[in-house]
């Protein structure tokens, strides 16, 4: 076994015969091996992985891990506080049977509020299948709002819901207020208020939502083919460019465009089916469709293969 080799110019571990070759780490033996010649250039490497494998469905309630969870920079002190386990011996209880040592004494009220909010954000994100990048951004937004103390008097759940909504908008995968409200315990009106206050407090902004932001998700949930999705996207974009639907929300315009495109194809969907997916009332879809119907010939793409001709589309 060769001793640790170091480059003459750079202070790094490498093979002296192949300085640029990547090294392979053997976690079982704790060796660093050259990928070109197999020379062991480092030994007794510290394994920074998990000591134990834990599963959520284990019958025993004892956690074998002795190092705790990963460091959380969003918490005060980096979440390096001591967590006291439940006592089992007589020395763990006082004369009245109460536990002498409790975790509440080792964690500040601010950290407890942050942990509860992070858990709520993670739960909401899991229920609507949001990736971890959005959860992390929402956690950072909530940390800034919490530290700034600009939204005093608002519930933490409302602030967490507003932060998740803003994170979705900033990451380019916007969700509607109704979708956030469906997985939250807060009303739509309260989330909207916290949303405006949070943007003002953090001096940040979000991009305007467009019909294209929702089209692919709505069409996928309705099991519509790509041809119908492309036609609906074209219809919605042309309707906005021609200023046919002034004052209408992008969600209602997208729902009306999907309805028009599906009625012209062999995959027809009703107002109610589209409304249930988009979270829009049937009347709202009909109102947007009424504005778009007279211009149907101009809205459809030129290469669209009509199953139902334009003159046979459902009347207003």
Whole-angstrom Cα Rg for the chain: 29
3-state secondary structure of 309: coil
Give the model confidence (pLDDT) of 103-122 as tens digits.
555 567 788 888 889 999 99
- Taking CA atoms, 121 is separated from 73, 139, 178, in Å, by 17, 7, 16
Structure confidence at residue 87 (pLDDT)? 66
Structure confidence at residue 104 (pLDDT)? 53
Below-70 pLDDT ranges, the chain: 1-11, 47-71, 76-87, 100-107
Structure confidence at residue 255 (pLDDT)? 92
**Within this chain, domains 109-202 and 211-312 share the same CATH topology:** yes
Structure confidence at residue 247 (pLDDT)? 85
Task: Sketch the domain layout of the chain as residue ranges.
Answer: 14-45, 109-202, 211-312
Structure confidence at residue 67 (pLDDT)? 58
Q: Please say whether the structural domain 14-45 has been given the CATH code 2.20.25.10.
A: yes
Rounded Cα–Cα distance for residues 292 and 284 (Å): 13
Structure confidence at residue 310 (pLDDT)? 84
The answer to whether residues 267 and 226 touch, using CB atoms and an 8 Å cutoff, is no
Structure confidence at residue 32 (pLDDT)? 86
Which CATH architecture is the domain 109-202 placed in? Orthogonal Bundle (1.10)
The CATH number, out of the four listed (2.40.37.10, 1.10.472.10, 3.40.50.1000, 1.10.10.10), of the domain defined by the range 211-312? 1.10.472.10
Mean pLDDT of the chain: 82
Rounded Cα–Cα distance for residues 152 and 120 (Å): 19
Structure confidence at residue 254 (pLDDT)? 92
């Amino acid at each position: 076994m060769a001793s640790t080799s170091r480059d003459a110019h750079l202070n790094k571990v490498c093979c002296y015969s192949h300085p640029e070759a990547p090294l392979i780490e053997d976690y079982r033996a704790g060796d660093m091996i050259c990928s070109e010649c197999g020379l062991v250039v480092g030994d007794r490497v510290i394994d920074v992985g998990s000591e134990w494998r834990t599963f959520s469905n284990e019958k025993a309630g004892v956690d074998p891990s002795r190092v705790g969870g990963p460091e959380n920079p969003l918490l005060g002190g980096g979440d390096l506080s001591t967590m006291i386990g439940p006592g089992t011996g007589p020395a763990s209880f006082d004369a009245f049977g109460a536990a002498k040592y409790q975790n509440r004494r080792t964690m500040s009220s601010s950290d407890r509020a942050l942990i509860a909010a992070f858990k709520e954000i993670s739960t909401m994100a899991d229920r609507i299948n949001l990736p971890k990048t959005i959860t992390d951004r929402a956690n950072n937004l909530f940390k800034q709002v919490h530290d700034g103390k600009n939204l005093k008097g608002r519930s933490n759940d409302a602030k967490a819901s507003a932060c998740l909504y803003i994170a979705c908008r900033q990451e380019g995968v916007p969700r509607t207020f109704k979708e956030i409200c469906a997985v939250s315990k807060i009303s739509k009106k309260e989330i909207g208020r916290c949303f405006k206050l949070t943007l003002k407090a953090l001096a940040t902004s979000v991009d305007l939502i467009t019909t294209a932001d929702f089209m692919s998700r709505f069409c996928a949930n309705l099991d519509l083919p790509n041809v119908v999705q492309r036609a609906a996207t074209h219809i919605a974009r042309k309707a906005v460019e021609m200023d046919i639907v002034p004052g209408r929300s992008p969600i209602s315009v997208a729902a009306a465009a999907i309805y028009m495109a599906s009625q012209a194809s062999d995959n027809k969907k009703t107002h109610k089916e589209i409304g249930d997916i988009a979270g829009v009332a049937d009347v709202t879809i009909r109102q947007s469709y009424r504005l778009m119907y007279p211009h149907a010939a101009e809205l459809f793409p030129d290469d669209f293969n009509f199953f139902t001709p334009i003159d046979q589309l459902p009347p207003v």
